[in-house]
Amino acid sequence: MTSLAQETGQNTSNLSETSPLRDRYSRQILFRGIGEAGQRRLQAAQVAIVGCGATGSALAGLLARAGVGTLRIIDRDYVEASNLQRQSLFDESDAAESIPKAIAAARKIAAFNSQIVVEPKVEDLVPSNIQALLEGSDLILDGTDNFETRYLINDYAVERSLPWIYSAAVGSYAVTLNVVPGQTACLACIFPDSPHGMVETCETSGILNSAVNLVASIAATEALKFLVADVSTPTLRRTLLSFDVWTNEHAEISAAKPRPGCRACGERDFIHLAGEGRPHITLCGRNSVQIHERQRPIDFAEMDRRLQPHGVVRHNDFVLKFWHDPYEMTLFPDGRAIIKGTTDTAVARSLYARYVGS
């Protein structure tokens, strides 16, 4: 896929050469932490944003306005009306036309900053394409909605000693972590195993756009620190930071050092990069996909309650059936699921992550 710069004929000349563009960033250049040298570094930087939903679109907008020279936006999904409450780069026309989020984001960015390069990639990040999609990046930002992809990013980043920033928001809760391979804890140091059982998602627990904007603002600021200085800058946060904007509860857990014996950064066992950590997904009969995830015990009564606002739900002791037009999901007590209405495994994975958890 070509970049939006090629599609729209953006001017990608050196931003520092023209006075109007120096004027664009003048207030940012006045900030001591950035200055003219920092702005030039931002201009030369390449950042990959994986996922362009709520957090990803906010990150993309902030970094585009800050003048990061090249943004690669990777997302497998399309815009829906329910996104508009919190996904800041989209509008009603995007939802009406089901525009892919990466394309819609790139178009919006071009309208307010035509002097940077945006590369929209309408793809699902998986082990087979991760190198092609992330190659050349100076920094990776997490805008995903599932730990499966985050562990994959972590494996890739640790193996290549590439910094990345984990970010998540659900309900009123936001959390973020800077990962500097070899210096700080990685995601697998903090979360050795992915969450089991039922996991809160935006679809079942809702989300406040203020929580999204908080975590995106924090992560975007940390990204600027990475890009204008280096990973040794003393102002770089070395904690797992969480904040609940509704209750005002917040916490920080030290992530200053790697955990001894960590699978990824200690043992360098990159199971997710090898594809071993992903749930097996197969076509299952006509127009259906089976997700063979057997590590997630399901409480049918609780899942029924959570899914009621989103479609028709029925269950007995053996299966739970959930209809969300045009899809039908059959969920088993061990977490295995059959999703009818599609043969696209990326769509099936997205539905599973949205309603059951990642």
pLDDT tens-digit map of 93-110: 999 888 889 999 999 999
Distance between CA atoms of residues 62 and 123, nearest Å: 22
Say yes or no: 50 and 156 in one domain: yes
Query: Which has the higher per-residue pLDDT, 11 or 301?
Result: 301
Residue 263 lies in a domain: no
pLDDT tens profile 197-239? 666 777 678 899 999 999 999 999 999 999 998 777 789 999 9
Confidence of residue 288 (pLDDT cuts 50, 70, 90): confident
Say yes or no: 248 and 323 in one domain: no
- End of a domain among 239, 254, 269? 254
Say yes or no: 212 and 289 in one domain: no
Distance between CA atoms of residues 98 and 298, nearest Å: 32
- What are residue 251's DSSP bridge partners? 242
Say yes or no: 293 and 229 in one domain: no
Catalytic site residue from 202, 262, 265, 284: 202
Residue 265 lies in a domain: no
Say if strands 164-170 and 173-179 run parallel, antiparallel, or are unpaired. antiparallel
Say yes or no: 144 and 39 in one domain: yes
Q: Are 117 and 12 in contact (CB under 8 A)?
A: yes
Say yes or no: 229 and 327 in one domain: no
pLDDT tens profile 108-119? 999 999 999 999
Q: Give the chain's mean pLDDT.
A: 89
Say yes or no: 345 and 237 in one domain: no
Task: Indicate yes or no: pTM above 0.85.
Answer: no
Q: Which percentage of the chain shows pLDDT scores above 70?
A: 89
Q: Which two tokens stand for residue 216?
A: 């995106």
Stretch 229-254: mean pLDDT, rounded? 92
- The pLDDT, as a whole number, for residue 146 is 85
Residue 273 lies in a domain: no
- Tokens 């002791």 correspond to 317
Cis amide bond preceding 195, omega within 30: no
In the chain, how many domains are there? 2
Residue 264 lies in a domain: no
Rounded to the nearest angstrom, the gap between the alpha carbon of residue 99 and the centroid of all alpha carbons in its chain is: 18
Residue 161 lies in a domain: yes
Active-site residue flag, 202: yes
pLDDT at 155 over 50: yes
- The pLDDT, as a whole number, for residue 50 is 98
Confidence of residue 292 (pLDDT cuts 50, 70, 90): confident
pLDDT at 313 over 60: yes
246 exposure class (CB count in 10 Å sphere: 0-12, 13-18, 19+):
exposed
Residue 262 lies in a domain: no
Residue 297's domain is classified under what CATH number? 3.30.310
Say yes or no: 123 and 195 in one domain: yes
Residue 131 lies in a domain: yes
- The pLDDT, as a whole number, for residue 51 is 95
Residue 260 lies in a domain: no
Residue 125's domain is classified under what CATH number? 3.40.50.720
Stretch 72-83: mean pLDDT, rounded? 89
Strand order in the sheet with 320-324: 280-283, 288-292, 337-340, 327-331, 320-324, 312-315
Confidence of residue 2 (pLDDT cuts 50, 70, 90): very low
Say yes or no: 304 and 194 in one domain: no
pLDDT tens profile 14-64? 544 556 678 899 999 999 999 999 999 999 999 999 999 999 999 999 999
pLDDT tens profile 343-358? 888 899 889 988 988 6
* Residue 215: domain span: 4-254
Say yes or no: 11 and 76 in one domain: yes
SS3 assignment, position 131: helix
Q: Are 184 and 236 in contact (CB under 8 A)?
A: no
pLDDT at 13 over 60: no
Say yes or no: 178 and 311 in one domain: no
- The pLDDT, as a whole number, for residue 6 is 44
- End of a domain among 219, 254, 289? 254
Say if strands 320-324 and 312-315 run parallel, antiparallel, or are unpaired. antiparallel
Say yes or no: 81 and 227 in one domain: yes
